[in-house]
Structure 1
């Protein structure tokens, strides 16, 4: 069995006259943690939504679990998990009702859903809110709930878009450790974020998308050697040509005086 779990072949996508993806080629191995980064509008979210089957009308191929997703009926989705940057949840449901509902979508029985929901909420420190309506949850509590919903069915691929948003420092450490454990178990993590130091620390490979194309792909060490820069943020700025951040900040400071 091939250890390639996900492959993009000459992926292109336009919205009207705007060409968002201009021929993306990417091969991801089982167990890899991929840091997928780029500026706003670079095409990161579009790439992920195409792989999730949420955006159609693209050119090229998306191959997941050795099958072109266009040739499937979406059954591959039962083996993936997703944390979107902006999460929509059924606020009128309790946490238990929501997680049970999500679990059943992935063919888990109610007893298993309930058991996992209780245990996972306890480990994330929100078990006291199991029977509380989501409408009363803070941003951090909602984020924990979304994270739980993305892993409750033990997915093979986990797509994460700013998954640490709103989490407290302790929970951030837990999630970082969890991703490494899942990776060692052969799970594949596709991690998209603007928080460069986190991407730098957790990723096995970093893929930089700029203007709809992949302009860098390698470990942090490899990218660092190729660019002669110190941090991922500096590498990002070097490759994308954005180097006037200090000048802009100075001007903003002058305006608000």
Structure 2
């Protein structure tokens, strides 16, 4: 099973941003959703996570429909947004406790996983900190830890490397690779493919709200030469 987007059109109010896009994200793979600003990447993500309703088309995840089985559909997803979403009145420990409760996780297993991730991202001595003390990069790390303590089948990560230091980027890529080996699926947005070209299995290139190209990550330079030139 997989994430299957068929003939999706949608946007905001009367504004149609996405125009009949279709692609599949197979199990245990990383699909890079690539495109310049305004291409429709974030709008696609907002439809997949259920923040926007499709004007036409369908979205299913492991056979569950977003429109027909929204609760069970969304329970399979962990989302890391481009701009971290944190609660100023909660400590880091309380953020993790909220995630564990929301996803109905086994507390012992979840906290073991959390402690390992906190050490990896050098947050293990900051459990009593409030978000006001966190930098942008640290807030991003909090979002990563919250997502990866779950047993989500699909991780959606929106421009994950903005604000992260080099070590954190490598740690995140290692986490992604390890979860992929366990059959977990990833949809990741990026402007260019250079950071994750060795980790992505396929790409979908959006341009003006349409799928302009898609294929194996190794074929990106051939199929999307305009972005390859920009990278060079």
| TM-score above 0.5 | yes
- Is the Cα–Cα contact under 8 Å of residues 92 and 135 in structure 1 kept in the other structure? no
Using CA pairs below 8 Å that are at least 6 residues apart, which structure has the higher relative contact order?
2
Q: Counterpart of 1:85?
A: 82
- After TM superposition, list the pairs within 5 Å mapping 1:134-213 onto structure 2: 134-213=131-210
Q: Counterpart of 1:6?
A: 3
**Compared CA separation, residues 14 and 53, structure 1 to 2 (3 A):** closer
Describe the SS at the equivalent of 1:131.
coil
1:216 aligns with 2:213: yes
Q: 1:197-239: per-residue Cα shift (whole Å, max 9, x none)?
A: 1142321101100111101111233233446x4xx8326x6xx
Structure with the higher helix share, 1 or 2: 1
- Is the Cα–Cα contact under 8 Å of residues 99 and 113 in structure 1 kept in the other structure? no
**Compared CA separation, residues 225 and 73, structure 1 to 2 (3 A):** closer
Q: Counterpart of 1:99?
A: 96
Gaps of 5+ in 1: 238-244, 246-257
CA distance in 1, matches of 2:12, 2:194: 32
TM-score w.r.t. structure 1 length? 0.83
Describe the SS at the equivalent of 1:49.
helix
- After TM superposition, list the pairs within 5 Å mapping 1:218-257 onto structure 2: 218-226=215-223, 229=225, 233-234=227-228
Q: Which one has the largest radius of gyration?
A: 1
**Compared CA separation, residues 57 and 173, structure 1 to 2 (3 A):** closer
RMSD: 2.0
* Matched residues, number: 231
CA distance in 2, matches of 1:35, 1:113: 28
